[in-house]
């Protein structure tokens, strides 16, 4: 199977998920396939060796998910919201990480590759599928600064918040002089009760 056939196969998967195909889904698939090459991993994964830290949500993240098998449900994908179409892949066995993002000239390269496209969007959609990795993407070895071993945690470990009583999974409790607390009760709030 050619690389173009493999890309098309994964794009079919992301189209089923979204009921359409957009340029960012293509970027997500291409980034996942590049990670497989660079990290020498068989994807989509059937274990939890690869972690993906996506820097934005939406269609892009679904493209990464389809190509890699990393997902929120399997706890192998995390959103680190930077508002960027970029992803860091971490091979947890070798503890090697690479960050992949679109090349600065990717849009222009797509337009040049598809001069007959009816618009920019269609040029990006089609061009991103055929551009070589070197024209489409930038990548570099990086070090993940987050405590990724804590992110993976230990499945089945539970605690109850000493204040609200809600169950806390995967070692996410905060220890305090008041005992084990959920992050909300410990003051790390992202919501508050409506009036």
pLDDT for 155: 67
Same domain (yes/no): 143, 157: no
For residues 95 and 15, state if they share a domain.
yes
pLDDT tens digits for the chain (195 residues)? 788 888 888 778 777 777 889 999 999 999 999 999 999 998 888 888 999 999 999 999 999 999 999 998 888 999 999 999 999 999 999 999 999 999 999 999 999 999 999 999 999 999 999 999 999 999 999 999 988 877 776 667 888 999 999 998 878 888 988 889 999 999 998 888 898
If asked whether residues 96 and 173 sit together in one domain, one would say no
What is the DSSP annotation of 52-95? EEESS-SHHHHHHHHHH---TTTT-EEE---SSS-EEEEETTTT
Give the Cα separation of 22 and 164 in Å (integer).
43
Pair 159, 104 in one domain: no
171 in the same domain as 97: no
Domain count, the chain: 2
Tokens linked to 109: 């390269």
- For residues 57-94, b (16+ Cβ closer than 10 Å) or e, as one string? eebbbbbbbbbbbbbeeebbbbeeeeeebbbbbbbbee
Do 110 and 182 belong together in one domain?
no
The answer on 46 and 8 residing in a single domain is yes
- In this structure, the answer to whether residues 113 and 174 fall within a common structural domain is no
Of 114, 132, 149, the position where a domain reaches its end is: 149
Whether residue 140 is found in the same domain as residue 157: no
- Same domain for 69 and 161, yes or no, is no
From the list 124, 129, 103, 102, the residue with the least C-alpha distance to 112 is: 124
Domain of 168 in residue numbering reads as 153-195
What residues form DSSP beta bridges with 169?
158
Q: Is 119 in the same domain as 81? A: yes
Closest CA relative to residue 24, chosen from 65, 78, 53: 65
CA distances from 51 to 21, 80, 119, 148 (A): 24, 12, 35, 9
pTM: 0.85
Same structural domain, 107 and 186: no
User: Domain holding 47: CATH number?
Assistant: 3.30.1330.130
Q: Which of 156, 160, 181 is nearest to 170 (CA)?
A: 156
């Amino acid at each position: 199977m050619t690389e173009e056939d493999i890309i098309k196969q994964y794009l079919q998967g992301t189209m089923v998920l979204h009921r359409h195909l957009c340029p960012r889904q293509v970027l997500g698939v291409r980034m996942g396939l590049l990670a497989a090459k660079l990290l020498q991993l068989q994807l989509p994964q059937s274990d939890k060796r690869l972690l993906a830290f996506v820097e934005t949500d939406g269609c892009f993240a679904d493209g990464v998910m389809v190509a890699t098998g990393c997902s929120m449900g399997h706890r192998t994908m995390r959103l680190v919201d930077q508002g960027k179409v970029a992803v860091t892949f971490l091979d947890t066995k070798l503890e090697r990480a690479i960050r992949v993002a679109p090349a600065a000239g990717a849009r222009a390269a797509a337009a040049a590759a598809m001069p007959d496209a009816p618009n920019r969007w269609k040029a990006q959609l089609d061009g991103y599928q055929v551009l070589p990795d070197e024209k489409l993407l930038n990548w570099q070895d990086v070090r993940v600064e987050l405590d990724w071993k804590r992110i993976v945690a230990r499945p089945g470990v539970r605690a109850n918040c000493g204040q609200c009583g809600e169950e806390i999974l995967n070692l996410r409790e905060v220890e305090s002089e008041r005992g084990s607390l959920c992050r909300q009760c410990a003051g790390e709030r992202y919501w508050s009760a409506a009036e």
